[in-house]
Amino acid sequence: MSDIIPKTEWIKKWTDNGVGWIQLSHENKLNPLSAAFILAIKDAAQKFDNDPSIGCIVLIGSDKAFAAGADLKEMVKLNYASVSESRYIENGWLDIPKIQTPMIAGVKGYALGGGCELAMMCDFIIAKDDAKFGQPEINIGAIPGAGGTQRLTRSIGKSKAMYYVLTGDMISSEEAENCGLVAKVFKGEEFDLSLKKIAIKIANQSKPLAKLAKQAVNVAYETTLEEGVRSERALFYSTFALDDHVEGMEAFSEKRKPAWKNK
């Protein structure tokens, strides 16, 4: 699928206080995820990831939906040969979890199918109280294909994940927070302000320390406890080589706010 041109016109980007904002802005407010749309999202995230002034990336959708699933008009034309030979799911989708800068999914409305998978690729999810999550692929003759069965199981456990994948039922924001899929839920107008505050707080941390912390947590998500502790210890030792380690320690002892050098 190397000939696909990213749909950059469906992406809005801006920066604010060290935060890179990416809004999914498809002409369809449900933000159906086509191959070209995913490539545009991936490209926008990578550009912010390579920007030294950005300390946090936030991915948001419309008021109606973060993304309500794949673009079925595109998928219905595909068969086994075309999806496997074109590496349909691999293009773009596999690159988003590789972003090193902390990345938040801010979810209003529906995050279903590929939309739920995209949200779970971010480091954590902040949801509005009207948000609904789910992997309803079984209802349309498919199963999750972009990590849904894997990330959902790691987030909420086998029993609940199996239930939602096999029934296709939606997960309310309250249930999503209770079972660990979502980090925080905010009501009404609190959502936008709270999401912005959280993103700015992360962006104002030491950038190299935040990336190391993200890496350490991701190891816990992906491997055994023994290997995770070993990796964490190595990453911890590496922080002693940073100027920001010295600054953080000195600021604490002097009872002042750190002036991070980001190196």
Residue 254 is among the residues annotated as catalytic for this protein: no
Q: Which of 20, 44, 69, 137 is catalytic?
A: 137
Does 216 lie in the same domain as 143?
no
Give the span between the Cα atoms of 121 and 148, in whole angstroms: 9
Residue 15's Cα: distance from chain center in Å?
Answer: 17
Residue 137 is among the residues annotated as catalytic for this protein: yes
**CA-wise closest residue to 66 among 170, 144, 139, 165:** 170
Does 13 lie in the same domain as 112?
yes
Name the pTM for this structure. Answer: 0.93
Helices of type H across the chain: 35-49, 72-75, 80-85, 114-121, 148-156, 158-167, 173-178, 190-203, 207-222, 225-239, 243-253
Angle at 73 between CA 72 and CA 78, to 5 degrees: 80
Q: Which of 40, 65, 68, 70 is catalytic?
A: 70
Tokens of 47: 């550009």
Q: Which of 114, 134, 147, 148 is catalytic?
A: 114
Strands (E) in 82-154, as ranges, are 103-107, 110-112, 124-128, 132-134
The CATH number that applies at residue 121 is: 3.90.226.10
Residue 70 is among the residues annotated as catalytic for this protein: yes
Cβ count near 251 (within 10 Å): 15
Does 182 lie in the same domain as 163?
yes
Does 245 lie in the same domain as 137?
no
Does 106 lie in the same domain as 228?
no
Does 175 lie in the same domain as 48?
yes
**Cα atoms found within 13 Å of the Cα of residue 92, Cβ hemisphere only:** 26
Domain range enclosing 62 = 8-203
Domain assignment present for residue 1? The answer is no
The CATH number that applies at residue 213 is: 1.10.12.10
Domain assignment present for residue 129? The answer is yes
Does 75 lie in the same domain as 63?
yes
pLDDT tens for the chain, 263 residues long, are: 457 889 999 999 999 999 999 999 999 999 999 889 999 999 999 999 999 999 999 999 999 999 998 767 777 677 777 777 767 777 788 999 999 999 999 999 999 999 999 999 999 999 999 999 999 999 989 999 999 999 999 999 999 999 999 999 999 999 999 999 999 999 989 999 999 999 999 999 999 999 999 999 999 988 999 999 999 999 999 999 999 999 999 999 999 999 999 99
Q: Which of 20, 68, 115, 117 is catalytic?
A: 117
Does 222 lie in the same domain as 199?
no
Number of compact structural domains in the chain: 2
Beta-bridge partners for 105:
59, 125
Domain assignment present for residue 114? The answer is yes
Identify the sign of the CA torsion 187, 189, 194, 199.
Answer: positive
**Three-state secondary structure call for residue 252:** helix
Domain assignment present for residue 2? The answer is no
Does 67 lie in the same domain as 137?
yes
Does 125 lie in the same domain as 63?
yes
Does 159 lie in the same domain as 122?
yes
Tell me the residue type at 171.
I
Does 83 lie in the same domain as 183?
yes
